[in-house]
Amino acid sequence: MTVKSVAVVGVGSAGLAAIKWCRERGLEVVGYERESDCGGVWHQGTAHSPAYDSLFTNSSNKLMELSDFPFPFKTSQVFPKHAEILRYYRAYKDHFGLDKFVRWNTGVRRVEKIHEKGVWRVETEHGDVDYYDAVMLCTGKLWDPRLPPWAHDLAEQHPEIDVLHAKMYRNPDRFRKRSVVIVGIGNSALDIALELSQHEDIDVCISCRRGTSIVPTRDSAGNPTDQKLARRFVQYKLPSKARLLYLYYLVNAANKSFRDAGLPEPPTGLFGPRSPSANLKQTPEFLRQLRNGRIRFVPEATGESVIGSDGKPSLQLADGSTVRADAVICCTGYTLRLDKVLGPKETESISRVAHWKGGRSVPWLRMYRHCMHPQDPTLFLCGFVTSFGNETCISEMQSRWATAVMAGLIPAPTSEKIEKDLAMTEFFLNQTQPSLSGFVRYIPYLDAMAEDLGATPEVDFWSDPRLYLQMLFNPVVPAHYRIFGLDALPREQLRSRL
């Protein structure tokens, strides 16, 4: 396999890293971005961004820094605001001179393989066509809103009810003096519910189909939870039962308050193998609103609407009761749609559907390490995974690994290794709920990629006791994977960031 030219589709956080690492490997690269600037979902000024005004990250700033680019400014808080993340990626783009490799305001209509010539055909929305040896698809997951099956009918039959997806939410202004039903119990649902509940003239309730495990982003002392959990000592040295007890200690108080307020317990209990979870960012504030009755939990909405005796619209619930609903905000996630860019043959070759015994099904991508096409090592997807760690840093590692394969610096995986990885992915799907189809374990996933690059941060205690202890007890950050092997940086340059 000889790769000289690469097309990168989408220049958000994953796309920027992909372009940067293509340049590092000496590959010719062109990035395609439909917007006029980088940043992807963090660029609120674009029509496609789901970022609301108050949005800030659920990953701490220490874990969000890419491996060779620390924050060039001090963030206003440990969990940076969306504008600060956009500022960071703009600075990253400028620092590495990536702007000249991107075709801005150029969306991609179709990417497909011309097998007779062994090249990829990239057609833009302007009608231009170019050919490349390889493609890195970095469009991400948060673009095609998924609505409940009844949402469109409800909006058409009852125009007096404001029905929207969370992607369209920006701030509480349009919901003043209204009763709002939030459908779903994920991260955005908790964020939006809290923000709305802080206005006395807005009535807020959350309608959910089932319970979930609440994972606060801070512990009781105010320390970032991700920095507590993303440590090698916790993930590798603690026995599994001790690790679960530690996690239970971190989150039990918040979950008890949610159960007391009416949120059902997950079907398999707290942190069961099929238990969904949601990040809670402002734990004290949210718990206060629960205790004050400013946020309520109600059963699953059926989508049927009735007009009450007061002439106001109400939404019918699964238990037969109703709840006042002037507006319905659907925090119900996104549908993974590769076929909007990727050709039909390519999409079909990697698209699968996982069927859970609970009756749900969800599409998943049959990709080696959720990144490389199993039969074609010239098609890579970066930024399509979910993790309890920072997903942007995973995208950077994917780009490092993919470009090393394309540049011939490391061998492509064997067919046996690929099939073993895919079998493990399918096994995982059978053990977990379908919404986790793209889930990876943060540290083990990074370690597996790093092993191929010779960059696993394994240190002998006697050769460098200080570094050994840092690797064991400090939060795992991308800079850890630049100490050894391919792409290693001078030790002193990294030491302050470890």
pLDDT at 360: 62
* CATH code assigned to 5-144+335-457: 3.50.50.60
- How many residues are listed for the chain in this entry? 498
CB atoms closer than 10 angstroms to residue 385: 22
pLDDT tens for each residue of the chain, 498 residues long? 689 999 999 999 999 999 999 999 999 999 999 999 998 889 988 878 899 999 999 999 999 999 999 999 999 999 999 999 999 999 999 999 999 999 999 999 999 999 999 999 999 999 999 999 999 999 988 888 999 999 999 999 889 999 999 999 999 999 999 999 999 998 999 999 999 999 999 999 999 888 888 889 988 888 899 998 899 999 888 888 888 888 888 788 888 888 888 888 776 666 655 567 788 888 889 999 999 999 999 999 988 887 776 778 889 999 999 999 999 999 998 888 888 899 888 888 888 766 655 556 667 788 999 999 999 999 999 998 888 778 888 999 999 999 999 999 999 999 999 999 988 887 777 666 555 567 888 999 999 999 999 999 988 899 999 999 999 999 999 999 999 999 999 888 887 787
Task: Give the CA distances from residue 55 to residues 80, 206, 282, 422, 484, in Å, rounded to whole numbers and listed in that order.
Answer: 9, 19, 12, 35, 36
Domain layout of the chain by residue ranges: 5-144+335-457, 151-330
DSSP code at position 206: E
Instruction: Give the integer Cα–Cα distance in Å for 486 and 71.
Output: 23
Residue 391 in contact with residue 399, Cβ under 8 Å?
no
Cα within 13 Å of Cα(261), Cβ side: 24
Give the E-state strand segments of 152-269 in sequence order.
Answer: 162-165, 179-183, 203-207, 213-216
Helix (H), strand (E) at residue 7: strand 5-9
Which amino acid is present at 396?
Answer: E
Instruction: Give the integer Cα–Cα distance in Å for 227 and 234.
Output: 11
Between CA 205 and CA 210, with CA 209 as vertex, the angle to 5 degrees is 105
β-strand partners of 218: 224
Helices 391-406 & 13-24, crossing angle to 10 degrees?
A: 30
* CATH code assigned to 151-330: 3.50.50.60
For β-strands 361-365 and 351-355, DSSP reports them as antiparallel
pLDDT at 445: 93
Estimate the share of the chain in helix, then strand, then coil, as percent rounded to the nearest 5. 35, 20, 45
